[in-house]
Chain A
Amino acid sequence: MNKAVRVLLVEDELVHVKLFERNVKRFGANLIVDVVDNGQHALDYLATYAQKPAAENFAVLLDLNIPVLTGFQVLERMRKNPKMAKLPVIVLSTSDDPEEMARCKALGVEHFLVKPISYELLMRILEAAPV
């Protein structure tokens, strides 16, 4: 990964955050990881980020099963806010429920990864992302 990528990891479970960090380290990815632990914090973060977008590429890694606001609620609000609507989102879910996948697709999510995710795949996606 040549160019640095900033990601917002929305994940409430510490073990998954830890796992994510270990893998990022192992892949030696040029990745800046910000972590928030619930849906509301994610929206707050995105509101601030939208004021002054960073120079790096950016993506949201969104777990669907999170407190305060669910992943879907976060997605819906993002899509309604013109400043956040275009931000790329990669959904991380614990199940391969076709219904969930369809809902995410309808909300403009291009990538749906089932946990435990394949980090090779994630890295490839982030690299290819024309953000």
Chain B
Amino acid sequence: MMDIPATAANPTPIRELQKRYTLALIIIAALIFISQVVVQRTVLATMDDSHIVNIAGRQSMLSQRIAKEVLILDTLPADQQRASLEALTSTLDLWEDSNYALQFGNAQMGLPGGNSALVNQLYLEAGSYLNSILSSGRCLVAHYRGTAAGDCAALTPDELRTTILTNEGPFLSWMDEIVFQYEAETTTAVKVIRLASAVLMFVTMISLLLEGRFIFRPIARRLQSTLDALHTTQRDLMDANTYLEQRVRERTQLLQQANAELQTANEEIRDYMSFVTHDLRSPIASVRGFLHELTLDLTDLRKTINGAYPSATALLEDSIPEAVTAIEVSNNQLDRLTHQLLDISRQGRRELDSMPVDLNTVLKQILQVYAPQIAESGAEVVIPAPLPAVESDPVLMEQVFTNVISNAIKYLDPTRRGKITLQAKNEKDRVVFSVGDNGRGIAPDDYDKVFKLFRRAGLQNTEGEGIGLYHVRNLLRRLGGTIWFESQVDSGTTFYFSIPNKLARGEA
């Protein structure tokens, strides 16, 4: 009733789920890494692009400044003109450097170079105007400083000014073109990156969904089924427990009931036994009384006839006394039987005493009572050592010893000299007594009859009703002891019985 329900159909093995989970983690980590790289690249590219656009814008501004300086040079007084020439020279240098850096990259200026083919083409287009402005500007400065030589000396400052101004317009347009192109390219790159980000995010989400579908759902299902199974098991266990408790309660109640019934029955039986034996004893007493009367009458009759009638005399001397004796023997047997039955029912009722019992005195008294029988059979009773002191019920102890000893005497072998040995041995918390005889012994077939009521083992040629040992066993039970025996046919029997060192008072 406690079988664990089968788990959900076809559960994915845990190891497989672990593999999947590891794989999913790797994929998601990779996706996150890639996303980060892409984002970082995007940020960097955007920063470069804005820088490029700034520098490119500055180039337009620088070219305008050059044009302005060139136009105002003549109007300036001599000292200001010198400073202006310095400024013009450095502006030209910066302008040239920046242009180079924009085209080919310069780490100091934070320019990566590496432009697209289209931008490079535009730089080439703008390059000729730039070069014209540069050479004309430098030549013009040389003129003002009076250091013009070679080709430069051949050109007039006005010509140079014109060249600069005519080239400036186209250069600005080309620069605008370049800036525009840069911006266009940046926009495209940002678009691509955005798309990539979106794709990555999508892929990541799909991965998460797949993870959910192929890892977390099976795990959840598995956990659920495990929990269900546990729950069912727990419920079953609780049910089983409740059921068992119920059963135990029921059984206990039944047992108590049965016990109470047994006790009542037992008491009823005892009362009934007592009643019956009392009733039985009345006719027995009456028979005994009338037998006595009959004997007296017979004596009178014998005197009256005084041998006058031989046949009547024969009846009076032999036949009638024999019949009377037979009735007497049977009646005495009945008397003993009912007496012992009464004893049993009486002992069942009596509260036990626990007091020191001097078994040696008890034994002496018993042996005195049985002295005639012992003498008659020529037996000897040997007690090698004094019996130990015990605390028990004196009445029951006496009955136990009386019964066991009379039993030993009764079953002695008439063909040899009887010997009864009485011994005691102290054990941990009990005393074991033994009463051994060299009597006729008990046949193994009769072993189970020994302690039964109204059963007698062996030859039925001795007096007895089969109550003695049954009674002894009951007495010993009440005393908290037990009885057993060892026997060998034709060589004797030893009865052993034990009692506790100290009988608990009031024990029943």
Contact-residue size bin, chain B (C-beta under 8 Å from the other chain): 20 to 34
Interchain nearest-CB distance for A14 vs B (Å): 9
**Does B41 make an interface contact (CB < 8 A)?**
no
Contact (Cβ within 8 A) A115 B289 = yes
For chain A, residues 7 to 49, give those with C-beta under 8 angstroms from any C-beta of chain B.
13, 15-16, 19, 22-23, 26
Give complex CA distance A70, B278 in Å: 13
**Does B293 make an interface contact (CB < 8 A)?**
yes
Residue of A nearest to B282 (CB): A94
Over the window 261-283 of chain B, the binary record of Cβ atoms lying under 8 Å from chain A Cβ atoms (1 yes, 0 no) is 00000000000000001110111
Assuming the A-B contacts A15-B290, A22-B293, are A94 and B346 also in contact, with contact meaning beta carbons closer than 8 angstroms in the complex? no
**Does B292 make an interface contact (CB < 8 A)?**
yes
For chain A, residues 91 to 123, give those with C-beta under 8 angstroms from any C-beta of chain B.
94-95, 97, 99, 114-116
**Does B19 make an interface contact (CB < 8 A)?**
no
Contact (Cβ within 8 A) B293 A94 = no
| Cβ contact of B281, chosen from A15, A23, A95, cutoff 8 A | A95
Give complex CA distance A115, B338 in Å: 13
A contact residues, total (Cβ < 8 Å): 15
Contact (Cβ within 8 A) A115 B292 = no
Contacts of A15 in B (CB 8 A): 283, 286, 290
Interchain nearest-CB distance for B430 vs A (Å): 29
Residue of A nearest to B275 (CB): A65
**Does B149 make an interface contact (CB < 8 A)?**
no
Assuming the A-B contacts A22-B293, A95-B339, A97-B346, are A116 and B288 also in contact, with contact meaning beta carbons closer than 8 angstroms in the complex? yes
| Cβ contact of B286, chosen from A13, A26, A65, A97, cutoff 8 A | A13
Contact (Cβ within 8 A) B285 A115 = yes
Contact (Cβ within 8 A) A19 B282 = no
Measured CB to CB, the residues of A under 8 A from B are 13, 15-16, 19, 22-23, 26, 65, 94-95, 97, 99, 114-116
- 29 A-B pairs with CB atoms under 8 Å apart are A13-B282, A13-B286, A15-B283, A15-B286, A15-B290, A16-B282, A16-B285, A16-B286, A16-B289, A19-B286, A19-B289, A19-B290, A19-B293, A22-B293, A65-B282, A94-B281, A94-B282, A94-B285, A95-B277, A95-B342, A99-B346, A99-B350, A115-B281, A115-B282, A115-B286, A115-B289, A116-B285, A116-B286, A116-B289
A-B complex: 8 closest residue pairs judged by Cβ atoms? A115-B285, A94-B281, A116-B289, A15-B286, A19-B289, A116-B288, A116-B285, A94-B282
